[in-house]
Amino acid sequence: VLGVAGCSAASSPPPAAQVSSQPAAMAFGGTDRAWIEINIAMDEQLLPLLELSAGRASDPAVRDLTTQVKAFTDTELGTLRQLHTLAALPAENPHKGMPMPGMVTPEQVTAAGALTGGAFDKAVVQHVRGHLEQSQQLAVSEEKSGVEPQTRRLAAEVLRTRSETLAVLPKLS
């Protein structure tokens, strides 16, 4: 027990590291914190559909679309997870699995996986469009009401990628 207590005392630097992150956490407003959590949940739930599409899409344009969306989603998720840590958000995401517009559900992925050909492509494009439109709306809210500069910069990047990607979607439908 004393050895464990000694180890705990020796691990004083981790609590100090936590304290040093507190000022950063205080720079995050409620909109910033909610935006980070919602976008992590939405992006994580989109990935299985994008991965399914890589081997199943019959239209090369749909494969290209999902490859592009997966690339920027993976990049955004990395940044969102860093912001999550800086904002000292809880490990359990209250938005995970939340039914909301643009949230791709496991049931939708399963249903899409049962489709083939053009029906599969159409379902994927529909779900990707819903995700992109919702994340675009959320990014507008973050830009308008967020206070943390790094989070607002990511929201601006989200708006850019969504705008560019949504512009090509009608050609695929």
**Residue 134 to residues 91, 103, 109, 129, Cα–Cα distance (Å):** 24, 8, 18, 8
CB contact set of 142 (below 8 Å; sequence gap of 6+): 31, 32, 35, 151, 152, 155
How much is the pLDDT for 166?
96
User: For residues 173 and 168, what is the distance between their CA atoms, to the nearest angstrom?
Assistant: 10
- What are the pLDDT digits (tens) for 108-162? 999 999 999 999 999 999 999 999 999 999 999 999 999 999 999 999 999 999 9
Q: Is 54 within 8 Å of 66 (Cβ atoms)?
A: yes
Handedness of CA 79, 82, 84, 86 (dihedral sign): negative
Distance of CA 120 to the CA centre of its chain: 23
